Structure 1
Amino acid sequence: MRYLPAVVVDALLVLVFAAIGRASHDESPAGFLLTAWPFLVALLLGHLLAALLPARPRRPWSILWGVVVWVVTVTGGMLLRVISGDTAQVPFIIVATLTLGVFLVGWRGITALVRRNRSRAATTHAEVEDAGVEDGTVEDIATGPDDEHPVA
């Protein structure tokens, strides 16, 4: 079940990609599933491949996992489009590759930054507590030994 949230986020982003693409060509956004289905199938294959790789990334929200999913989604999605009789023109391949890269790897990068910042904040909070400060407030840190006069 730990894979499900990442799969859901990725699938929603693929749907957004397809809807934006349809709308940008003045096509009915309602038909976005026709554009999205090959990429959704490839997305699931990408998650499966990432989970089965021998030296696989361990977390579905990791950047490396996202890169595997991205490459398989773009490659597989384009192949499925062509096999099903649709086109895969070079400009579409470029736009899809860049957009899906930003979407599928980008949210993982943001997640990594947030987790790193939380970790640093927790470490800083622990260091403040280890220094004997009760709640880490500026007043506690800035008081002198007699706790009545702030340290200049």
Structure 2
Amino acid sequence: MSRQSIVTAGVLDAALVLLFAAIGRLSHGETLAGLGVTAWPFLGGLIIGWLLLRAWRHPLSVVWTGLGIWIATVAGGLLLRLAGGQGVQLSFAIVTTIVLGIFLLGWRAIAALVRRTSRKRMPAPV
């Protein structure tokens, strides 16, 4: 795995967590001024997931890395949110789980599909 792929995967994960937080704030009529307050617990969970899973070894893997990062981001984010004095309603936890699952697993699934498709199109070595 190239260094560029690892960096791209990490940046994409973080960008999608920020997008999740931004969508949540805007859907509740809040401004983006407090984006950091909303996003930090989930970015913390994401970082914990990357470190625990050593995600840099297989950042594009849907099953091992993707599932693990998704679980770590949701669980870690909700726990850090509670520890930080922010509330966690059941409906919020459900929406968080679904949206972050779509985001963090979805881009990896699309990347896997693109890789598979491009491999099929490449001519066999002579």
Tell me, yes or no, whether TM beats 0.5.
yes
Say if 2:1 is the partner of 1:3.
no
Q: Which amino acid aligns with 1:114?
A: V
Mapping 1:1-152, distance limit 5 Å: 1=3, 3-51=6-54, 58-64=57-63, 65-122=65-122, 125-126=123-124
Q: Aligned with 2:35: secondary structure?
A: helix
What are structure 1's unaligned runs of at least 5 residues? 131-152
**DSSP-derived class of the 1:60 partner:** coil
Describe the SS at the equivalent of 1:66.
Answer: helix
Paired residues of 1:7 and 1:44 also in contact (CA < 8 A): no
Q: Which runs of 5+ in 2 are unaligned?
A: none
Q: CA deviation at 1:5?
A: 1.8
Using the size of structure 1 for normalisation, the TM-score is 0.75
Task: Choose between structure 1 and 2: higher helix proportion.
Answer: 2
- Provide the rounded CA distance (Å) in 1 between the counterparts of 2:33 and 2:39: 11
How big is the shift at 1:126?
A: 3.1
RMSD between aligned alpha carbons?
1.8
Aligned to 1:137: none
Report the identity percentage. 49
Q: TM-score of the superposition, structure 2-length normalised?
A: 0.90
Total equivalences in the alignment: 122
Which portions of structure 1, spanning 4 or more consecutive aligned residues, are displaced by more than 2 angstroms?
1-4
1:87 match: secondary structure? coil
